[in-house]
A and B are shown apart, each in its own frame.
Chain A
Amino acid sequence: MNANEIDRHLDIWFDVVEPRSAPADVLPGVFAVTRTTHQRHGLAGRFATLAAERRMPARVESSLSFRLLVVLLALLVTIISVAGAAGALLQMFPRSVEDGAIVVETVGPPRGLALLLPDGTVTAITPPDREEICAIFSPDGSRVAFFSAPLRTAADPEPAYELAIANATQGAARQLPVRAYRLPQEPSPPSWSPDGSAVVAVLLRPDQSMPISGDLMIVPINGSEPRPLLRSPLVREGEDTEPGLYRFQGVQWSPDGAWIAFRGELFDDQGWRYFVGVVRPDGSDLRLLDRWPLVGSLEWGGVVWSPDSTQVAYHRRPEGVASGGMDVHIASIDGAPVRPLEDVANAFVAEWSPDGGRIATVGLSVDSAHVFDVESGAAAALPVDGATYGATWSARGDRLAVLGDDSLWIVEPDGGETSEILAGVTSSLCAAVGPSLSWQEVGQ
Chain B
Amino acid sequence: MTRELVELAQKGDHEAFEHLCGRMAGRLYATAVLVLRDGEAARDAVQETLIEVWRRLPMLREPDAFGGWVQRILVRRCYAAVGRRRRLAEISVVDLDASTASPEADLVLVDQVERAFRRLTPAQRAILTLHHRLGYGDTDTAEILGIPVGTVKSRLNRAKSALRASIDADERSVTSTKGQLA
Q: Chain A residues with Cβ under 8 A from B59's Cβ?
A: 133, 186-187, 429-430, 432
Distance of A48 Cα from B168 Cα, bound (Å): 64
Chain B interface main SS type:
helix
Distance of A432 Cα from B58 Cα, bound (Å): 11
Distance of A238 Cα from B47 Cα, bound (Å): 33
Distance of A96 Cα from B56 Cα, bound (Å): 25
Which of A57-65, A67-75, A84-92, A276-284 faces chain B?
Answer: A84-92
Taking a contact as CB atoms closer than 8 A, the residue among B12, B69, B154, B160 that contacts A81 in the complex is B12
Distance of A361 Cα from B82 Cα, bound (Å): 25
Which of A11-19, A218-226, A392-400, A409-417 faces chain B?
Answer: A11-19
Interface presence of B51 (CB below 8 A): yes
Distance of A23 Cα from B29 Cα, bound (Å): 8
Q: Chain B residues with Cβ under 8 A from A111's Cβ?
A: 58
Cross-chain contact B80 with A296 (CB below 8 angstroms): yes
Cross-chain contact B58 with A428 (CB below 8 angstroms): yes
- Give the shortest distance, in Å, between B162 (CB) and chain A (any CB): 10
Q: Chain A residues with Cβ under 8 A from B79's Cβ?
A: 295-297, 323
Cross-chain contact A9 with B109 (CB below 8 angstroms): yes
Which of A26-34, A252-260, A302-310, A377-385 faces chain B?
Answer: A26-34
Task: Please provide the 4 A-B residue pairs with the shortest distance between their CB atoms, ordered closest to farther.
Answer: A323-B83, A322-B83, A89-B12, A297-B76
Cross-chain contact A16 with B55 (CB below 8 angstroms): no
The interface on chain A, measured as residues whose beta carbon lies within 8 A of the other chain's beta carbons, has a size of: 73
Interface presence of B94 (CB below 8 A): yes
**Interface hub of A10, A16, A87, A235 (most chain B Cβ within 10 A):** A16
Distance of A111 Cα from B57 Cα, bound (Å): 13
Chain A interface main SS type:
loop
Cross-chain contact A37 with B113 (CB below 8 angstroms): no
What would be 9 A-B contacts, judged by CB atoms less than 8 Å apart? Answer: A1-B167, A12-B104, A20-B26, A22-B26, A238-B148, A240-B151, A297-B77, A317-B83, A323-B83
- Give the shortest distance, in Å, between B58 (CB) and chain A (any CB): 5
Cross-chain contact A323 with B82 (CB below 8 angstroms): yes
Chain A, residues 314-337, CB within 8 Å of chain B (1/0): the string is 000100011111000000000000
Nearest B residue to A13 via CB reads B113
Distance of A25 Cα from B18 Cα, bound (Å): 13
Cross-chain contact A17 with B83 (CB below 8 angstroms): no
Given contacts A17-B96, A295-B122, 17 further A-B contacts (CB under 8 A): A10-B113, A14-B34, A16-B100, A16-B110, A17-B94, A19-B26, A20-B26, A22-B29, A31-B18, A81-B12, A235-B148, A236-B148, A238-B148, A295-B83, A323-B82, A364-B52, A429-B56
Distance of A185 Cα from B73 Cα, bound (Å): 12
Chain A, residues 133-159, CB within 8 Å of chain B (1/0): the string is 100000000000000000000000110
Q: Chain A residues with Cβ under 8 A from B13's Cβ?
A: 87
- Give the shortest distance, in Å, between B108 (CB) and chain A (any CB): 11
Nearest A residue to B69 via CB reads A185
Cross-chain contact B87 with A324 (CB below 8 angstroms): yes
Interface presence of B25 (CB below 8 A): yes
Q: Chain B residues with Cβ under 8 A from A157's Cβ?
A: 62
Q: Chain B residues with Cβ under 8 A from A442's Cβ?
A: none
Nearest A residue to B58 via CB reads A107
- Give the shortest distance, in Å, between B17 (CB) and chain A (any CB): 7
Cross-chain contact B102 with A33 (CB below 8 angstroms): no
Q: How large is the interface on B (under 10, 10 to 19, 20 to 34, 35 or more residues)?
A: 35 or more
Q: Chain A residues with Cβ under 8 A from B163's Cβ?
A: 6, 10
Q: A10-B113, A34-B54 are in contact. Are A15 and B101 (CB under 8 A)?
A: yes
Interface presence of A421 (CB below 8 A): no
Nearest A residue to B117 via CB reads A13
Distance of A129 Cα from B143 Cα, bound (Å): 30
Q: Chain B residues with Cβ under 8 A from A29's Cβ?
A: 47, 51
Interface presence of B86 (CB below 8 A): yes
Cross-chain contact B25 with A27 (CB below 8 angstroms): yes
Distance of A210 Cα from B139 Cα, bound (Å): 10
Interface presence of A180 (CB below 8 A): no
- Give the shortest distance, in Å, between B165 (CB) and chain A (any CB): 9
Cross-chain contact A13 with B80 (CB below 8 angstroms): no
Nearest B residue to A33 via CB reads B51
Interface presence of B119 (CB below 8 A): no
Cross-chain contact A81 with B58 (CB below 8 angstroms): yes
Q: A22-B29, A34-B54 are in contact. Are A297 and B146 (CB under 8 A)?
A: no
Cross-chain contact B73 with A34 (CB below 8 angstroms): no
- Give the shortest distance, in Å, between A111 (CB) and chain B (any CB): 7
Interface presence of A243 (CB below 8 A): no
Nearest B residue to A299 via CB reads B76
Cross-chain contact B94 with A108 (CB below 8 angstroms): no
- Give the shortest distance, in Å, between A247 (CB) and chain B (any CB): 8
Taking a contact as CB atoms closer than 8 A, the residue among B7, B58, B62, B73 that contacts A91 in the complex is B58
Cross-chain contact A18 with B30 (CB below 8 angstroms): yes
